[in-house]
Amino acid sequence: MLEYDYEKMYDSFLGVNTKEPDSNYEDSAFARVEEESDYYRYEVTPFEALAITCEQLSIKPTDCVVDFGCGKGRILFFFNNFYLCRVKGIEYDDEIYETLLDNVAYYSVRFHGREEQIETYHMRAEEYEVRKEDNIFYFFNPCAPEYFETILEHIILSIEASPRRVTLILYYCSDEYTKILRDMQWKQRRLIRLPGYSEDPYETMYLFQNPL
């Protein structure tokens, strides 16, 4: 009950609805996402995990956070509100994307002027063209490992074209993702243990950066 109240409190403060599907999940568009082998069902990062993580990060208003598989936009709104930074969300499911647009509108009413800092893209994550201003990337296991590897390849090409420090933030990082990161020589900079870590060692935030 306390966890639910915590989730509801943050959504209410941000003026959005980013909760996971209700008991009618099997009949919803979110279930159709799960049926596809290359993209995974809609799940949210707990607000408590985000709060703990953000307290330990140094993100500036000049930074740009990109969330692959952003769903209804929880990461976008939380990071923008916490750091006043630019945020971008990529989501390909039609119904989820419509909810995302509604949330952007609601958030923009609550926090007037922030809409200029939020960009959304209705597309597959691996098709997103990484821009030179993109320097922080968030992942919560949005897609199959081979597509994750493609996304990383796009990030690396962007770094080669516009050299810069890039940070990857990964919540509940799968073993397959971790192996790809290490094989591609991304450097682990931090591991943030979250509530529940003692019972579930995947309850962590990994921070990786590119070697310079």
**Structural domain tally of the chain?**
1
- Predicted TM-score (pTM) of the model is 0.92
Closest of 135, 139, 154, 145 to residue 180, by C-alpha: 145
So what's the pLDDT on residue 33?
A: 43
Classified as helix, coil or strand, 195 is coil
Q: Tokens 């073993």 belong to which residue? A: 175
Tokens read off for 140: 């919560």
Model confidence pLDDT, tens digit, residues 168-185:
999 999 999 999 999 999
Local structure of 201: helix, strand or coil: coil
- Say whether 137 sits in a helix, a strand or coil: strand
Indicate which CATH number applies to the domain containing 8.
Answer: 3.40.50.150
- Residue 211 pLDDT class (50, 70, 90 cuts): confident
Q: 93: domain range?
A: 2-209
Binned at pLDDT 50, 70 and 90, residue 4 comes out as: low
**Strand ranges for 69-139 from DSSP E:** 86-91, 118-122, 136-139
| Whole-Å CA distances, 83 to 72, 87, 186 | 19, 10, 25
Residue with tokens 């419509």: 98
Spatial distance between the Cα atoms of 137 and 108, rounded to a whole number of angstroms: 23
More confident residue, 32 or 172: 172
What is the distance between the alpha carbons of residues 80 and 84, in angstroms, rounded to a whole number? 5
The pLDDT of residue 52: 96
The residue-averaged pLDDT of 42-61 equals 95
Who's near 93: CB < 8 A, 6+ residues apart? 29, 30, 32, 33, 39, 42
Banded model confidence at residue 22, pLDDT cuts 50, 70, 90: low
pLDDT for residue 23 is more than 90: no
Percent above pLDDT 90 for the chain: 85
SS3 category, 34? helix
